[in-house]
């Protein structure tokens, strides 16, 4: 049987049973899904962490630097990264100059 518990509803005993991923705190946890045996003891668990959708990643950076400015992926990456067109053009110029020198 599975039992999904939100982090704010977890008891001290339940929190002690859970080992968090390195670098994560209980503030990063959304919920814990406990898999229980028939006698009610915990057989396994999985932790759901908050995802920061505003932080950029490598794919967004590559889209900003190398894809067409009119593409949907470029526009989405630009919105997530919260950067101006001037900043992107400046970074593209730097890359272009590096290729010429190298």
* pLDDT above 80 (res 5): yes
Domain containing 18: what range?
2-49
The number of distinct structural domains making up the chain is 2
Q: Is there a single domain that holds both residue 6 and residue 38?
A: yes
* pLDDT above 60 (res 54): no
For residue 52, what pLDDT band results from cuts at 50, 70 and 90?
Answer: low
Kindly state the percentage of the chain with pLDDT values over 70.
Answer: 94
What was the pLDDT predicted at 53?
59
Mean pLDDT, range 36-44, rounded to an integer: 92
Q: Is there a single domain that holds both residue 69 and residue 45?
A: no
* pLDDT above 90 (res 57): no
What was the pLDDT predicted at 80?
83
Mean pLDDT, range 32-57, rounded to an integer: 85
Q: Do 37 and 66 contact (CB within 8 A), yes or no?
A: no
Q: Is there a single domain that holds both residue 45 and residue 62?
A: no
What was the pLDDT predicted at 93?
92
């Amino acid at each position: 049987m599975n039992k999904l518990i939100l982090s704010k509803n977890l008891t001290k005993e339940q929190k002690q049973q859970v080992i968090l991923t390195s670098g994560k705190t209980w503030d990063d946890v959304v919920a814990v899904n406990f898999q229980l045996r028939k006698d009610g003891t915990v057989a396994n668990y999985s932790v759901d962490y908050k995802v920061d959708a505003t932080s950029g990643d490598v794919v967004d950076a590559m889209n900003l630097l190398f894809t067409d400015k009119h593409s949907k992926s470029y526009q989405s990456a630009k919105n997530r990264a919260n950067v101006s067109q001037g900043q992107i053009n400046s970074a593209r110029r730097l890359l272009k100059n590096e290729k010429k020198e190298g």
